[in-house]
Amino acid sequence: MSITYKDEEGIRGMRVAGRLASELLDYLTPHVQVGVTTNELDKLAYDYITGVQGAIPAPLNYQPPGYTPYPKSICTSINHQVCHGIPNDKPLKKADIVNIDVTVIKDGWHGDSSRMFIAGEGSIAAKRLCAMTYEAMWHGIVMVKPGARLGDIGWTIQKFAESNGFSVVREFCGHGIGKVFHEEPQVLHYGKPGTLEELKPGMTFTIEPMINLGRRDIRELSDGWTIVTRDHSLSAQWEHTVLVTETGYEVLTVSEGSPPPPPFVAALAHA
């Protein structure tokens, strides 16, 4: 499968889908509290996507080869769950950290984003993990420009995470996205600078590092979807969908409620 480069019409479609994904996370944010169940969040998301946004939840019944159909509209990964956690009826407890990963389809285009949330007051370690994972994602994003390589993104994320005492999950990665949920290229969150595909204008892909407080080793639960850390340590993830522009990058999954970029991003822009 080859990389698809988006033309002006495609970029417009991706901007809309990306904004809707971010607005869905804005809508869910006040509901992520101690005592809410992830099934309740899933129902809120489904109703908002279909009823308000006039869009389709991409995860619902999504079935890659070798998998059973995914049964929900969002992924909710709690504490030591790395990714693809399935919403259920268990209430969130105080200090739980939860990643909510959403993908909406609007007019055939996919917008994919995830954010970390903390129910109640989290531990210092949990808050630092969530904050540093957000920064790690942005360290990858600012590497995006024509002529750079995918390996540059992975290398800078890995270097930042490991220098702060965390580990990077290697079995899952970012991905090209457009009319297809998961397309080429694969965007690794570790690697060597100057390697892998060259970035060119019109490419759209996700950057979504999964960072663990302990070791990077993972395993899959018996539901066939949920991935957890082997050592039961906390895991965090943030995700944006990014466009390669003529001069750099554009983050497509932004809205009024998006967390602002870390300070170093603005400093780089004015350097």
- Candidates 189, 222, 226, 187; CA nearest to 204 is 187
Cα dist from 175 to 24, 37, 116, 264, 271, whole Å: 21, 29, 19, 25, 30
- Going through 73-177 in order, the beta strands assigned E by DSSP cover 75-78, 81-83, 97-106, 109-118, 167-168, 174-176
Count of residues for the chain? 271
Q: List pLDDT tens digits, range 56-115.
A: 999 999 999 989 999 999 999 999 999 999 999 999 999 999 999 999 999 999 999 999
Q: What is the pLDDT of residue 271?
A: 66
Please report which confidence band the pLDDT of residue 270 belongs to, taking 50, 70 and 90 as the band edges. confident
Domain 8-269 is of which CATH architecture?
Answer: Alpha-Beta Complex (3.90)
Q: List pLDDT tens digits, range 212-262.
A: 999 999 999 999 999 999 999 999 999 999 999 999 999 999 999 999 999
Kindly write down the DSSP assignment for every residue of 104-132, as one continuous string: EEETTEEEEEEEEEESSSPPHHHHHHHHH
Q: List pLDDT tens digits, range 137-178.
A: 999 999 999 999 999 999 999 999 999 999 999 999 999 999
Residues of the chain with pLDDT > 70, as a percent, come to 99
Q: List pLDDT tens digits, range 93-107.
A: 999 999 999 999 999
